[in-house]
Amino acid sequence: EAQVTQNPRYLITVTGKKLTVTCSQNMNHEYMSWYRQDPGLGLRQIYYSMNVEVTDKGDVPEGYKVSRKEKRNFPLILESPSPNQTSLYFCASSVTESPGELFFGEGSRLTVL
């Protein structure tokens, strides 16, 4: 089944404790992206990747890191999480380097205490 898989789906952590949210897609998509969803603000793009080893900042990259060493994986790293990073995170992928239809993962709800 074609899908975007995120882990963990739910996480409660404490300020400063490094964490990684994994994202994997099995559709051989070129483009991958991370968004955070907050009430009243919609989805805001954190980082995106047009292809392996090619990443760029979205609108809200501060406090996040990404890497794209393999085509299928695009992990989101929070080096030192803070409470303002409490949010619902979505990973998405698209067939081509310039994104058309995005296919979304199920979301990862992160709480930073």
* Binding site residues, another protein, CB under 8 A: 31, 33, 35, 40-45, 48, 50, 56, 58-59, 90, 92, 97-102, 104-107
Q: Measured from the CB of residue 7, what is the shortest distance to another protein in angstroms?
A: 14
In the complex with another protein, the residue whose CB is nearer, 15 or 96, is 96
In the complex with another protein, the residue whose CB is nearer, 69 or 100, is 100
Name the β-bridge partners of 66: 76
CA nearest 63: which of 40, 43, 47?
47
Q: Measured from the CB of residue 37, what is the shortest distance to another protein in angstroms?
A: 9
Q: Measured from the CB of residue 54, what is the shortest distance to another protein in angstroms?
A: 9
CA nearest 56: which of 38, 78, 74, 37?
74
3-state secondary structure of 7: strand
Indicate the residue type of 100.
G
Q: Measured from the CB of residue 77, what is the shortest distance to another protein in angstroms?
A: 21
The CA angle 24-92-83, to the nearest 5 degrees, is: 90
